[in-house]
């Protein structure tokens, strides 16, 4: 098994939405290598199975459960499944999300609703379903976006959904602090993931120029940020909004 010498998450139980590809997949692999038992969820059973195989081939423990996080009944079922197999949750990574272009004046109702259903409501519903099974020391991580901090044109609905997620994270941090549960938010800029579609290589080359560091992010860059915030090393950190963005938020 490929493991870390430090094993920051030894004995921890983590659930990751959108765990079949991109950032979720990279985070599942890293968490497993750091000692966590992992449950991944998403809407594509084939992608979930492929990611789970990677973890298991390394000697890790990975469970999969298909579901749509914008549907409360699915979130309840996912939580019940994870609790039954793992006996509680230490880490929830609300990673699943979708991206759509559009200005305020041309974003149709369906696009607006789908962005908020997945990016915001899904985060709230998954948290609502899993908080009862969390104890002191548990953590919720929400994957927002640098666009939630600093919007750009043609991203109105997406940026708004991620800004709302940032605010929701701060509310969670305040509401759950008394229970010893932390909540933090990661804000990536452009990361090389399947969300960018077939022309991603050319797009990534163009997007790299917008980042002060001159490169786009890789899924592992976000996974390592999630690892730190999920670990006991961050035990006194809650309610933070962490840009992992190549400097774009200050450009």
Burial class (CB in 10 A: 0-12, 13-18, 19+), 117: middle
Of the residues 36, 158, 162, 241, which is catalytic?
158
Is 158 one of the catalytic residues? yes
Sheet containing strand 62-66, strands side by side: 62-66, 37-42, 13-17, 91-94, 139-143, 182-188, 241-244
Q: Give dist(CA 153, CA 172) in Å, integer.
A: 29
Q: Which pair of tokens denotes residue 4? A: 């870390």
- Catalytic residue ranges: 158
């Amino acid at each position: 098994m490929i493991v870390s010498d430090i094993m920051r998450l030894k004995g921890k139980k983590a659930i990751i939405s959108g765990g079949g590809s991109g950032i979720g997949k990279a985070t599942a692999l890293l968490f497993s290598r750091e000692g966590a038992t992992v449950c991944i969820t998403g809407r594509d059973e084939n992608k979930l199975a492929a990611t789970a195989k990677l973890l298991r081939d390394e000697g890790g423990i990975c469970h999969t459960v298909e579901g749509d996080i914008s549907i409360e009944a699915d979130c309840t079922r996912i939580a019940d499944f994870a609790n039954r197999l793992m006996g509680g949750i230490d880490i929830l990574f609300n990673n699943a999300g979708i991206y759509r272009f559009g200005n305020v004046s041309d974003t149709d109702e369906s696009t607006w609703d789908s962005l908020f259903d997945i990016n915001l409501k899904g985060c709230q519903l998954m948290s609502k379903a899993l908080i009862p099974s969390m104890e002191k020391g548990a953590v919720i991580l929400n994957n927002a976006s640098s666009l939630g901090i600093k919007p750009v044109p043609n991203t109105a609905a997406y940026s708004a959904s991620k800004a709302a997620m940032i605010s929701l994270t701060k509310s969670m941090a305040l509401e759950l602090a008394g229970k010893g549960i932390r909540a933090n938010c990661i804000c990536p800029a452009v990361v090389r993931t399947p969300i960018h579609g077939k022309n991603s290589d050319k797009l990534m080359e163009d997007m790299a120029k917008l980042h002060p560091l001159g490169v786009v992010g890789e899924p592992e860059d976000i996974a390592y940020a999630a690892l730190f915030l999920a670990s006991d090393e961050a035990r006194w950190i809650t309610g933070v909004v962490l840009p992992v963005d190549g400097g774009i938020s200050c450009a």
